[in-house]
A and B are shown apart, each in its own frame.
Chain A
C-alpha cells in the first residue's frame, strides 16, 4: 500500500516537474507546478505529517501559485513563448553545464553521505501520535516556537525586510517616472 502511494505520488511529481520546464505556455507550466505540489502533499500524508500536507496545499498550491498566475495574467505574458530565440547568448550551454554539475554533486553527496545524512532535530514522533489527531501539530509547534524560535523569528524578519524592500524599489521607480 505504501509503495503504491509512493509510486503514484512520485509519478505525479515527476510529470508535473517535467511539465513545468517543457510547456511553452507559462499558465500551463504553473498548472504543472500545482501537480508537483500536490504530489509533495501526498508524500507528506504518507509520512504521517498531516499538518505539513495541509500547509503545503494552503500556502503553495492555494496562494503562491495563484499569485504566479495573477502576475502572469496581469502582465499579459500568458502567450506561448517562441523557444527558438535566445535572449541571453550561451545561456543554454551554461544552464546545461550548471545542471550537470549540480546533478554530479548531488549524486556524490548522497552516495558518500548516507552515514552523514541522518535525521536532524527532534523529528516527528509518529509512534506517540496514536489516536490523538492533534499530536502532530503539537510536536511541530513545540519545535518551531520552542526549540527553534530564534531561527523562526529571524526568518520572519527576513521576509518582512524582503517585502519592505520590494515596495520601496517599486515605489521609487514610479516616483522617478512621474
Chain B
C-alpha cells in the first residue's frame, strides 16, 4: 500500500484507476494554466507597483501575453553552444521542469471540509481526496523534490561551457543546499505540532483558526519557511543565480528558444507550488476559515468546490507576497546570503524546534510546562551566547588574516 487515499485500499478497480488518470491530467493542466496566469499576474502587479501599465495587448487585460510569448519562443532558433556538453545541456531544462510538476502532486487542492467532513469527496461512487497523491512521507516528498530541483540549474550552468553560467550554477548549488536545511528544520516544528507527515493529515489538523497554532508555528517557523522557500526558489531578493548585473544572465545565459522557456516555466510553477505548500503547512490548506463554532461560507457554491476556492484565495495572497518581495527588496550580497542562512535561519529554527519539543515532552510526562519552558529558554540563551562568542572569534580571525568582509 503506497498511498493513504481511501480510494486505493483493497483491490485496484477500473473506476479508481480512471480517477487517478483524470487527476493526473487535471493536475498537469491546472499546473500549466496556473503558471501561465502567474507570469501574467507577476508582470501586471509589478507593473502596477512601478507605475506602468504592463501587458495589455494580447487578449483581455493582456491575459494571453504568456501564451503569445510561449508560441514565439517555440519558433525561435534553438542554439547549441559549441563548447557545451551536448547531452547534459539538453537534459538540464527537463531536470528542472519535472520536479516542478512532481511537487504539485502532493498538495491538497480542495475537498469538502464543511459539517465535520475531513476533505474526502465522492466521485463516481468512489471516496477520494482532491489531491493527486497522498504518500506516507507526505511533506518529506516536497523536501526531496526541492532538493532534486537544484540539479536543473546547476547542470545547466555547468554544461553551457562558459564562465558566467558556471558561476551562476556554483552559486545555485551552495545557496540551495544551505537553505534546504533551514526549510527542513522549520518544517519539523509543523510536523511536531500536527503529529503527522501526510499533507492531508496536516491540513486536517488545522480545522479552525485556533488549530492553526499561530504562536507555535505561525510566527517563527512560518517566517523562516517563507524566507528559505524564497531562497530555494531563487526568487528575488535571493536571485544571485541569475544576477544580471554580475553574471550576464546567470545559469541560463547560453539557453535560447523553448529550452530557455522551460526554465521559466519551472521557476513560476515552483513559486505556485511553494505558495500552496505554505498554505497547506501553516494556514489550513483548502479548509474554510472558522473560529469557535462559526465557519465562513461562500454562498451559492457547492461544498465540494468550496475548498478549491479557499485554497485559491489563500495561495493568491502568497503569490502576491512573492511579487511584492521582487518589487521592493534589493538583492543580497553573497556573504550576506550565507550569513542569513547559516547564522540566523538554521540556529533560529533549531532553537524554536527545541522549545516546542521541550513543551511537548513536559506535557507528555506531566511536568510543569512553565518551568520546563523556562529551563529550555535558559539553555537556549546559553547556546546563543556561545554562538555569538564563536562568531566574534571567527570575525577576529578573519580580520587578522586580512579578509575584506
Interface of A with B (CB < 8 Å)? 25, 27-28, 31, 34, 45, 50-51, 53-55, 57-58, 61-63, 66-67, 69-70, 73-74, 78, 131, 133-134, 136-137, 174-175, 178
Q: Which single member of A57, A69, A73, A133 contacts B136 (CB below 8 Å)?
A: A133
Q: Which residues of chain B are within 8 angstroms of A45 by Cβ–Cβ distance?
A: 2
Q: In the docked arrangement, what's the CA distance between A25 and B86, Å? A: 13
Whether the pair B180, A62 counts as a contact (CB closer than 8 A) is yes
Whether the pair B173, A69 counts as a contact (CB closer than 8 A) is yes
Q: What DSSP secondary structure best describes chain A's contact surface? A: helix
Q: Which single member of A34, A70, A73, A133 contacts B198 (CB below 8 Å)?
A: A133
Whether the pair A27, B150 counts as a contact (CB closer than 8 A) is no
> B137 at the A/B interface (Cβ < 8 Å)?
yes
Q: In the docked arrangement, what's the CA distance between A73 and B151, Å? A: 13
Whether the pair B154, A69 counts as a contact (CB closer than 8 A) is yes
Contacts A51-B140, A133-B197 hold; do A61 and B147 have CB atoms under 8 A apart?
yes
Whether the pair A78, B158 counts as a contact (CB closer than 8 A) is yes
Q: In the docked arrangement, what's the CA distance between A178 and B397, Å? A: 13
Q: In the docked arrangement, what's the CA distance between A28 and B89, Å? A: 12
- Closest beta carbon of chain B to A170's beta carbon, Å: 12
28 A-B pairs within 8 Å (CB atoms) are namely A27-B155, A31-B88, A45-B2, A50-B135, A51-B137, A57-B148, A58-B140, A58-B180, A61-B144, A61-B147, A61-B148, A62-B143, A62-B150, A63-B177, A63-B180, A66-B147, A66-B150, A66-B173, A67-B173, A69-B173, A78-B158, A133-B136, A133-B201, A134-B136, A134-B197, A134-B198, A136-B136, A178-B402
- Closest beta carbon of chain B to A104's beta carbon, Å: 37
What residue in chain A is nearest B91 (Cβ atoms)?
A31
Q: In the docked arrangement, what's the CA distance between A53 and B2, Å? A: 12
In addition to A57-B147, A69-B154, 7 A-B residue pairs with Cβ atoms within 8 Å of each other are A27-B85, A62-B177, A63-B180, A66-B147, A73-B166, A78-B158, A133-B198
Q: Which residues of chain A are within 8 angstroms of B372 by Cβ–Cβ distance?
A: none
Whether the pair B174, A58 counts as a contact (CB closer than 8 A) is no
Whether the pair B140, A54 counts as a contact (CB closer than 8 A) is yes
What residue in chain B is nearest A56 (Cβ atoms)?
B144
Q: In the docked arrangement, what's the CA distance between A165 and B378, Å? A: 30
- Tell me how many residue pairs across A and B have CB atoms closer than 8 Å: 93
- Closest beta carbon of chain A to B20's beta carbon, Å: 16
Whether the pair B137, A53 counts as a contact (CB closer than 8 A) is yes
Interface of B with A (CB < 8 Å)? 1-2, 4, 9, 85, 88, 135-138, 140-141, 143-144, 147-148, 150-151, 154-155, 158, 166, 169-170, 173-174, 176-177, 180, 184, 195-198, 201, 401-402
Whether the pair B4, A133 counts as a contact (CB closer than 8 A) is yes
Whether the pair B170, A58 counts as a contact (CB closer than 8 A) is no
- Closest beta carbon of chain A to B302's beta carbon, Å: 29
What residue in chain B is nearest A126 (Cβ atoms)?
B1
Q: In the docked arrangement, what's the CA distance between A63 and B146, Å? A: 11
Contacts A70-B174, A133-B4, A134-B198 hold; do A175 and B401 have CB atoms under 8 A apart?
yes
Whether the pair A133, B150 counts as a contact (CB closer than 8 A) is no
- Closest beta carbon of chain A to B185's beta carbon, Å: 12
Whether the pair A27, B177 counts as a contact (CB closer than 8 A) is no
Q: Which residues of chain A are within 8 angstroms of B201 by Cβ–Cβ distance?
A: 133-134
What residue in chain B is nearest A67 (Cβ atoms)?
B177
Contacts A63-B180, A134-B198 hold; do A58 and B401 have CB atoms under 8 A apart?
no
Q: In the docked arrangement, what's the CA distance between A53 and B170, Å? A: 27
Q: Which residues of chain A are within 8 angstroms of B166 by Cβ–Cβ distance?
A: 73
Whether the pair A27, B88 counts as a contact (CB closer than 8 A) is yes
Q: Which single member of A53, A70, A134, A174 contacts B173 (CB below 8 Å)?
A: A70
- Closest beta carbon of chain A to B401's beta carbon, Å: 6
Q: Which residues of chain A are within 8 angstroms of B402 by Cβ–Cβ distance?
A: 178
Q: Which residues of chain A are within 8 angstroms of B170 by Cβ–Cβ distance?
A: 70, 73-74
